[in-house]
Amino acid sequence: MKPSVLTLATFLLSLQAVVDAATGHLDMKPQNMTRPSPSVPLAPSPLPPPGPASHGEEIVRQLRTLTRANISRLTLVKRIPLEGDVWEPEGIVRLAAPGNEAADDDEAEEERFWISAGEYTTPTEKYPEWRDGTDRSAGAGFAHFLVFDGSGQRVGDWVVSAEGDDEYHNGGIDYDGRYIWATLSQYRPNSTGTVVRVDPAEVTMEKLFRVDDHQGGIVHDTSTGTLTTLNWGGRKARRWNVASGRRVQHHDDDEQVQLRGSGVAAAPGAEVVNPSHWIDYQDCKALGGVGGRELMLCSGIATLAAGVEVGGLALVDAETLVPVWEVPFMERAGRVLVTKNPMDVALVGGRVRLYFAPEERAGAVYVYELRGE
């Protein structure tokens, strides 16, 4: 069912959504989801622990052995073609039921790839000069969560924005063992965004709070209860204490999390300017506390000059945004740097694996393994 086709069924579902909003119910059920085989689960059961945070210390240890001189130790071990149109992928999380972790491959594991994506039906247009704090028109489109099995077969396509919504850009995502955290934002800088969390087992999405800025990457550190969100290009981080948040009802009938127990909803506990100008962070993953720091792994790209584009990886202190390790990674999938947008990391068979999905429309997951230590 396409989002632009209005039928009696979609009208009734929309009416129910209005009723739910008026009563303070925020969970968005999969009202606009395509599942080729409904009996195929969208997530392992029970939900697995978060791969990156569960092995944060070892992931950090192995990654820090990588340098610009030996980056070739990151070896492409698998390319998984993804079935159907993936539009523009933005973030990825790998959900894998624990299997034989001593093996050199992950064939024994039940895998699901959740990919956040944007279907852009009307492109944004750059203004000659900045207007109302931004540099381009709003454009139009739809935010998706796409779900694939470990072989790339499409098992779900969930449209999570409505026709006409300004916030249709689905950014980077993170998984904490219970929820997939994401942001729905306008597709332009200095705009607005909404922080959401998805229960992949129940297939519900909860809108938590709005932010007066575009929000892209997001990580949730369960050890501290802290949420870190990144704006356009990862130039600024906002830190939110979701552990002490409580729900409040607003006059616009939109229930939100009031953070830190007091003050205005959607006011962060801290704002941090990114001190690094190496790459723009696209997708990040929480690694938990490592060596006394709250670390996240980020990937991204940057255009340094006309025709000069670089990609890279960084271990970043989530509290200060100071990178503790950075390395260029210039591998390409066709003409696209693999670090463009989606990235996840896992420890499989004792080795670090990185998962990228940079290509638009006809996409694939590129699996790189760190070898030769």
Q: What is the CATH number of the domain that holds 306?
A: 2.115.10
Asked, for residue 6, whether it belongs to a domain, the answer is no
Burial class (CB in 10 A: 0-12, 13-18, 19+), 329: buried
Q: 364: how many CB neighbours lie within 10 A of its CB?
A: 18
Residue 109 has what pLDDT?
A: 55
Asked, for residue 10, whether it belongs to a domain, the answer is no
8 Å CB contact between 313 and 297: yes
Residue 204 has what pLDDT?
A: 97
Residue 215 has what pLDDT?
A: 97
Closest CA to 111 of 148, 145, 86, 78: 148
**Strand order of the sheet with strand 343-348?**
74-85, 362-370, 351-356, 343-348
Asked, for residue 24, whether it belongs to a domain, the answer is no
Asked, for residue 7, whether it belongs to a domain, the answer is no
State which amino acid sits at residue 339.
Answer: T
Tell me: the pLDDT tens digits for 84-99? 999 999 999 999 987 6
Asked, for residue 140, whether it belongs to a domain, the answer is yes
Tell me: the pLDDT tens digits for 47-69? 999 999 999 999 999 999 999 99
Number of domains in the chain: 1
Closest CA to 220 of 212, 228, 230: 228
Q: 51: how many CB neighbours lie within 10 A of its CB?
A: 24
Closest CA to 43 of 203, 184, 181, 172: 203
Q: Is the pLDDT of residue 15 over 50?
A: no
Residue 27 has what pLDDT?
A: 62
How far is it, in rounded angstroms, from Cα 28 to Cα 33? 11
Measured on CA atoms in the order 209, 44, 93, 103, is the torsion positive or negative? positive
| Mean pLDDT within 337-351 | 98
Q: Which of 135-144, 244-253, 271-280 has the lowest mean pLDDT?
A: 244-253
In the beta sheet, which residues pair with residue 309? 303
* More confident position, 93 or 257: 93
Range of the domain at 248: 42-370
**For residue 309, what are the contacts with CB-CB under 8 A and spacing of at least 6?**
301, 302, 303, 337
Tell me: the pLDDT tens digits for 352-371? 999 999 999 999 999 999 99
How far is it, in rounded angstroms, from Cα 267 to Cα 258? 8
Asked, for residue 257, whether it belongs to a domain, the answer is yes
| Mean pLDDT within 329-334 | 97
Q: Is the pLDDT of residue 10 over 50?
A: no
